Structure 1
Amino acid sequence: MSDTAANPLGSEALRSALAELLGTFFLALAALTVAAPLTPFAVGLTLLVFVYAVGSLSGSHLNPAVTIGLMASRRFPLAHGLLYIVAQVAGALLARVVAGAGLVGELGHSYQAGTAAAEFVGFGILMITVAATTEKQVAKAGSGIAVGGALLAGLLVSHGVLNPAVALAMGLATSPAMWATLLSAVVFSLIFSVIERTKPAEVEDGPVHTPKAQADDSK
């Protein structure tokens, strides 16, 4: 029997909920920080990126309505679904706090204190996706699309550079934003590693999974 089937609040459920929180955070952040008329494009692109990045970890609901619909049709366990909803709401509220603090969305006009936070968050989108595409479950054919989309989404969110080499070429070696990118690479790579480390070995090579599918496999 799978970990989720035996305990809906076990390590696997917490791992997938954390993936939902992270994905919903970036999705909401795109909606809050990218100006019209690019907002729908940025949100759609971010969703596409995180379907690639965390689809194999959580199923990429990233939306309480989706989770509720699956719960209503008995395609998703109640306890696990409620955990997802809490994670999704938490991710959205965290995005609102970050956006409301003015940490993201002002880059591109001046490299001041807030730009470092913008680069940090924007590069996080790219780093999570790159980390995911190095895993077996992400098809190599789609890796380029996912990484390219992540870069574009990160640029739309941060209005930054997201590349220390490019920053050097622009004469920004002493910019806080450049060093924030390097810090972001380490932090978000470690976050993804923590999420990935709790995944059961038997599903590493399998398709995108849900707790229901795992429960069926255990019969």
Structure 2
Amino acid sequence: MNDAKATIVRPSTALVAEALGTFLLVLAVISTALFAAGFGEGTESANKGVGFIGVSFAVGLALAAGVYTFGPISGGHFNPAVTVGLAAAGRFPWKGVAAYVIAQIIGAAVATTLIVLIGLSGPAGWLAGVQDNGFASNGFGAQSPSGFGIGAAIIVEALFTAVFVTVILGVTHPTRGNRAASGLVIGLTLTVIHLATIPIDNTSVNPARSIATALYGGPDALVQLWVFLVFPVVGALIAGFAYRALFENAKTA
């Protein structure tokens, strides 16, 4: 999220960095969810899977790696909601939002497509099974890991995205933030968000991630996708405008 540095590179280079960073993020979280989270379940041996705790740390570590690797090039958003939130806070030009969002969606979709290609060489029925189970897509009601309804999903996505964007805005503030530690702080924040909310709706807070899994998650995932497109953006807008109004003009003691 180093937006000041992103202005010195070519726009096309920044878009490639956004696509690659989003690819890394989605590849890490969805691969861990599908390949490793439940590994060993249903066998006589003890379950060696990482569970949702492992998924949470996978996404946080991947985001930290992406921020440090690609942040100096593109700002390291890797999330349409983050891009919108930064624009609302005055940290990113609105005219650049559409291109960033498209790059992020492409990177995320490539990640899940490669996971499908890996699954084609998996055990018999593996790919069909994970697709029948939603392909780690976000969902509510019958598609929620714990049966939470649409109201819970709406609140979770708006609230936790707002928290996420607020942390990003604070830690990357040009005068009061700590840019050296920003990747670690942002990654750990996303880890905590996943630890808290995976059982509710599989945790989106990132429309690109939601689109990428819904592409392979079946009709139910596609029907419910709108919640995970609209409400992360709503939360990001609230956070961006609120942070700008409350803190951007604040003076340090």
The two structures share one fold, judged by TM-score above 0.5: no
State the TM-score, normalizing by the size of structure 1. 0.42
Give TM-score, length-normalised by structure 2.
Answer: 0.36
